[in-house]
Amino acid sequence: MSASASSFSSVPAPPMRWDGWGDPDRETVLSDAMLGLIRDALGVRGDARSRHTPDDVVVPDCRLTDDDLAELTGIVGEDHVSRAPVDRLLRAAGRSTPDLLRRRATTQSAPDAVVVPGSTDEVAAVVAWCADADVAVVTYGGGTAVTGGLAPLAGGHRAVISLDMRRFDGLVDLDEVSRIAALGAGVTGPRAEELLAEHGLSLGHFPQSFRYATVGGFAVTRSSGQASAGYGRFDEMVVGLTLVTPRGVLRLGPVERSAAGPDLRQLVLGSEGTFGVVTEVSLRVHPVPEAVVAQAWRLPDFASGAAAVRTVARSDARPTVLRMSDEAETAVNLASPGAIGADGSPGGCLVITRFEGTERDCADRRARVADLLTEAGATDLGPEPAQAWAHGRFDAPYLRDALLAIGVGCETVETATTWSGVVSLRTAVSDALTTALGSDDGPFAASPAMVLCHISHTYATAASLYFTVVYRLDERDAVGQWEAAKEAASRAIVDHRATITHHHAIGTDHRAHLAAEIGDLGVQVLRAVKATLDPSGVMNPGKLIP
């Protein structure tokens, strides 16, 4: 069955480009300087390949019967179920580089139907039906997953549906005194800010996926945004959750802290749809900040820079945004996207800070951070580099699309470790990637690799490391080529007792490494929780739990 026939579509399409990032009408054109750099460094010619349209792709026949569809339609209504190939295809993948490379195939797997429920009760009925009917459920939010969480795996069940949460798009409840907002799981980042701004409030969660990703996705993947130093990780914002499981509804919260046994919210956070479907999330919100102050600095090198950032992260003057690029990333960051590859880096490591709050607080914290960084040897670069970063901060994935089109691989690896391990782990992961991609011992053609790194999330005892890798695709097996490099990076992470993922979740891609982190006994605990909430195993099989 061809995925063409868009006319069969009966539910709205996700808003994002089907085989790449973001706005389908937006094209990123690479500058001549950048093309030159890529030609020199990677030896690619720079000719862009043509893209498929969904019409070019064949998906397997739907394994659900007419009776199945009738029953699902009976729960959510006729307008909210589709087995049109195009609807299924559009929800068949997330946005990792392997996901996008797989979009080049002319035959692709896909969920057997798309179901778009409108209430917690409807989700409960759909999930109960699926458990009974031996049909797997992949919950779909913004489609921005990068570790395989959206792969349409039936996991031995007779079919798999995509449960699209787009209709959970409202502000369910607002307690202005307590500053708690209950949002539907399908609310996107911009929609959350829009709903809250009507009340002078803000959530403050700005991951790179902000424009498309949803509250439910943020929760089940333990997302962390660029302002995490100021407003916390998403899991720290959550005070309550509604989880619909095949065994019933679990409602947790909304009291922020308690000693009433283990904190079960922390089991739902990070559960990636494997225990059930999060339909509603109660979140700590704050007033829209009255002032924003941006400020950039340069530190001489990664090791001294990491030490300086550590001091700032632990201070009471902590910025709302605090990030530091290594030397290689600094060279790219300081240029505008059009000028990447041109000369313009001052060298060293770029530190971006941003302060949000009252005028007085921002000025005060900025001054105190300036003292700390100056003492650590920093040079003041003024606000411009920090403003430029803020301007382009959600756009990197567009650049990746342009690179992939000309045969350049571009993917990220992220982790976190204790402060004492930050420098050695950066070296180990960077070396692992460079060595793996540069080797011609294996089945893949050797490629030089550019590895950029930054620290973007800081804690009292730990920090994240985020690597961007640019290399020449081996078009014979581009997915396999990356998987080999990723495996090398993952081994370096595990060997350092760092976490396999700081904010991208486990999905399919990190699943083999979870036991190294939580032990076999930890895995057995997750399996026991799953068996209790999802005894038939229909909830997002093949993800998270080994």
CB of 173 to its own copies, least distance (A): 11
CB of 274 to its own copies, least distance (A): 9
324: left (phi over 0), alpha (psi -120 to 50) or beta: beta
| Residue ranges in 275-294 that form contacts with its own copies under rule CB under 8 A | 284, 286
Other C-beta atoms closer than 10 Å to the C-beta of 394 total 19
Contacts of 514 (CB under 8 A, 6+ apart): 500, 506, 522, 523, 544, 545, 546
Report the residue from 64, 160, 195, 239 that binds its own copies according to the rule CB under 8 A.
239
Residues 306 and 376: beta-carbon distance below 8 Å? no
Other C-beta atoms closer than 10 Å to the C-beta of 373 total 23
Q: Which is nearer to its own copies, 37 or 422 (CB)?
A: 422
Q: Which is nearer to its own copies, 51 or 496 (CB)?
A: 496
Stated as kind and residue range, the H or E segment containing 373 is helix 359-375
Task: Based on the shown chain and the rule CB under 8 A, indicate whether residue 501 belongs to the binding site for its own copies.
Answer: yes
Piece in contact with its own copies (CB under 8 A), picked from 66-74, 95-103, 394-402, 411-419: 411-419
Specify which residues 54 forms β-bridges with: none
Q: Which is nearer to its own copies, 443 or 522 (CB)?
A: 522
Two structure tokens written together for 530:
């799953």
The site for its own copies, by CB under 8 A, has a size of 85
| Residue ranges in 360-399 that form contacts with its own copies under rule CB under 8 A | 361, 364-365
| Residue ranges in 216-235 that form contacts with its own copies under rule CB under 8 A | 221-224, 233, 235
Report the residue from 473, 514, 538, 539 that binds its own copies according to the rule CB under 8 A.
514
Piece in contact with its own copies (CB under 8 A), picked from 33-41, 80-88, 382-390, 418-426: 418-426
Task: Based on the shown chain and the rule CB under 8 A, indicate whether residue 487 belongs to the binding site for its own copies.
Answer: no
Two structure tokens written together for 473:
């695709």
Task: Based on the shown chain and the rule CB under 8 A, indicate whether residue 420 belongs to the binding site for its own copies.
Answer: yes
CB of 150 to its own copies, least distance (A): 16
Task: Based on the shown chain and the rule CB under 8 A, indicate whether residue 462 belongs to the binding site for its own copies.
Answer: yes
Of the candidates 140, 118, 137, 142, the one whose C-alpha atom is nearest the C-alpha of residue 127 is 137
Task: Based on the shown chain and the rule CB under 8 A, indicate whether residue 500 belongs to the binding site for its own copies.
Answer: yes
| Residue ranges in 122-181 that form contacts with its own copies under rule CB under 8 A | 175, 177-180
Q: Which is nearer to its own copies, 71 or 263 (CB)?
A: 263
Task: Based on the shown chain and the rule CB under 8 A, indicate whether residue 51 belongs to the binding site for its own copies.
Answer: no
CB of 471 to its own copies, least distance (A): 25
Q: Is 494 exposed, middle or buried (0-12, 13-18, 19+ CB in 10 A)?
A: middle
| Residue ranges in 245-264 that form contacts with its own copies under rule CB under 8 A | 245, 247-252, 254-264
Strands 159-164 vs 135-140: parallel, antiparallel or unpaired: parallel
CA angle, corner 209, sides to 295 and 305, nearest 5? Answer: 35
Q: Which is nearer to its own copies, 34 or 506 (CB)?
A: 506
Task: Based on the shown chain and the rule CB under 8 A, indicate whether residue 519 belongs to the binding site for its own copies.
Answer: yes
CA atoms within 13 A on the CB side of 219: 36
Distance between CA atoms of 544 and 526, rounded to whole angstroms? 9
Radius of gyration of the chain (CA): 23
Q: Which is nearer to its own copies, 23 or 375 (CB)?
A: 375
